[in-house]
Amino acid sequence: MSERLDPDELTSELLGTVVWEPPPDARATTRMGAFLDAAEERAGVALPDYAAAWAWSVEDLEGFWRTVVDHFDVHFVDEPTAVLADPSMPGAVWFPGATLNYAEHALRETGDRPALVARSQTRDEVVLSFDELRDRVARAAAGLRRLGVREGDRIAAYAPNIPETTVAFLAAASLGAVWSSCAPEFGTTSVVERIAQIEPKVLLVVDGYRYGTKEVDRADEVARIRAELPSLEATVAIPYLHPDETRIPDAVTWDELVAEDGGELEFTPVPFDHPLYVLYSSGTTGLPKAIVHGHGGVLIEHLKILALHHDLGEDDRFFWFTTTGW
């Protein structure tokens, strides 16, 4: 029989050396600390430390998430009748009766401070202020409406992480349309296996991209993908690799999509669980599984994790190295 290990010794061995601990003044200097102070006042709970906050968040789901919503000033067009109507899983019903829009919250900041900074091997740096981003989203939303996009329609992208992709996503969200995307390094089969499931009305594509010094043309892949999507009514092409050429036939160019003044940007109020985007599993056990994420859930999770766990504020810049496929 093997010798029993002391749990404390085992834990110490597994943990190894602590490389960082919050500074003593974290409660007074972080957004987490500010939230805990506000929660104690709003919810009437004692939260002396992170462990107490975690326990509260899992033991009082309704109290915790109501406090998150109030603390971050989530704007409901129609107020919810409850926080959690049905806790059973799968299918828990959060904030029933509520309507809101993710894009409205993403774009509620104004002014000339940078909202989006883009750098790539394919083009010069692009910097958009909050006002410029909002204007481009309004123009893209107007362009999508001209293409017949309405609430509930699906828009898929075969495009990299570039400003146009972000603008198109926010424009789709503002209309209550459903977004999905695949990275342009995906092959035809991988893309079709995913986005054909949602029957997109509009496809946003690039003609290619640059990887290091190598040009990767995707015009042929785009043609094959379009041929496999019978639901498709329009394609919007971004001349990313060859900005002076039109390499995607029978497509609306990005410049044409955003050519007209969008006017005042309006946001379609949608139910809390209305689909915001559809992402996919890796497909290692059959067809990739489509996973639906709702406006409300994504919104309050983004507010919670980016502010409380990442401690991001208006003076910070946030970079996440990823593709549009993950």
Give me the residue spans of the domains in the chain.
Answer: 21-97, 102-266+276-295
The closest of 184, 189, 195, 200 to 280, measured between CA atoms, is 195
Q: Measure Cα distances from 157 to 58, 67, 209, 295 in Å.
A: 36, 35, 14, 19
pTM reported for the whole predicted model: 0.92
Segment 47-57 mean pLDDT: 95
| Band (66; pLDDT cuts 50, 70, 90) | very high
**Total residues belonging to the chain:** 326
Structure tokens at 237: 């092409």
Residue 219 and residue 177: Cα distance in Å, rounded? 26
- DSSP H/E element including 179: strand 178-182
Yes or no: say if 58 and 82 are a contact pair by the CB < 8 Å rule: no
Which residues are CB-contacts of 208 (< 8 A; sequence separation ≥ 6)? 184, 215, 216, 217, 218, 219, 240, 241, 242, 247
Q: What pLDDT score was predicted for residue 20?
A: 85
Residue 91 and residue 283: Cα distance in Å, rounded? 23
Q: What pLDDT score was predicted for residue 147?
A: 98
55 vs 91 pLDDT, higher one? 55
Strand partners, 280: 290
Q: Taking every pair of C-alpha atoms in the chain, what is the biggest distance, in angstroms? A: 78
Q: Is the pLDDT of residue 121 over 70?
A: yes
| Region label for 199, one of left (φ > 0), alpha (ψ between -120 and 50) or beta (otherwise) | left
| Band (33; pLDDT cuts 50, 70, 90) | very high
Structure tokens at 132: 């410029």
Question: Among 11-20, 156-165, 226-235, whose mean pLDDT is lowest?
Answer: 11-20
pLDDT more than 90, % of the chain: 84
Yes or no: say if 176 and 221 are a contact pair by the CB < 8 Å rule: no
pLDDT more than 70, % of the chain: 95
Q: What pLDDT score was predicted for residue 322?
A: 87
Q: Is the pLDDT of residue 257 over 90?
A: yes
Q: Is the pLDDT of residue 217 over 60?
A: yes
Yes or no: say if 31 and 311 are a contact pair by the CB < 8 Å rule: yes
Q: What is the DSSP string of 180-201?
A: EEE-TTS-HHHHHHHHGGG--S
Q: Measure Cα distances from 58 to 27, 93, 295 in Å.
A: 21, 16, 22
Q: Is the pLDDT of residue 142 over 60?
A: yes
Q: 102-266+276-295 — its CATH code?
A: 3.40.50.12780
Q: What pLDDT score was predicted for residue 282?
A: 86
Q: What pLDDT score was predicted for residue 179?
A: 99
| Band (2; pLDDT cuts 50, 70, 90) | low
Q: What pLDDT score was predicted for residue 215?
A: 93
Residue 65 and residue 234: Cα distance in Å, rounded? 40
